[in-house]
Amino acid sequence: MKDSCHQRVRYTKASVYHGTGNVPVGACGNIILVARESLTDKALVDFEKYGKAIIPLSCLEMLE
């Protein structure tokens, strides 16, 4: 992945571990921060209409 800060992403699937929350599948946003973990890497994403959410990278599609 290129420099992940401010990378545009789309939420592609609900996480098994975190549920869907307030962000619907298909929403687009910008990555603010990426956290590397042993279980799964996660990103803090700013979804303009829905606010910020922590989403596993496996549930995101990189755009642009």
CATH of the domain at 35: 2.30.30
pLDDT score at 22: 82
Spatial distance between the Cα atoms of 50 and 47, rounded to a whole number of angstroms: 5
Q: Is residue 25 part of a domain?
A: yes
Positive or negative CA dihedral for 20, 58, 44, 47?
negative
- The average pLDDT across 7-28 equals 81
Structure confidence at residue 45 (pLDDT): 95
Q: For residue 29, is it within any domain?
A: yes
Phi, psi of 58 (to 5 degrees): -65, -15
Answer yes or no: is 1 within a domain.
Answer: no
Query: Does residue 35 form part of some domain?
Result: yes
Domain that holds residue 33: 8-62
Name the average pLDDT for the chain: 85
Domain count, the chain: 1
In a domain, 2, yes or no: no
- Does residue 5 carry a pLDDT above 70? no
Query: Taking residues 29-56, what's their average pLDDT?
Result: 92
Q: Is residue 13 part of a domain?
A: yes
Looking at residue 41, its pLDDT comes to: 92
pTM above 0.85, yes or no: no
Q: Tell me if 32 is assigned to some domain.
A: yes
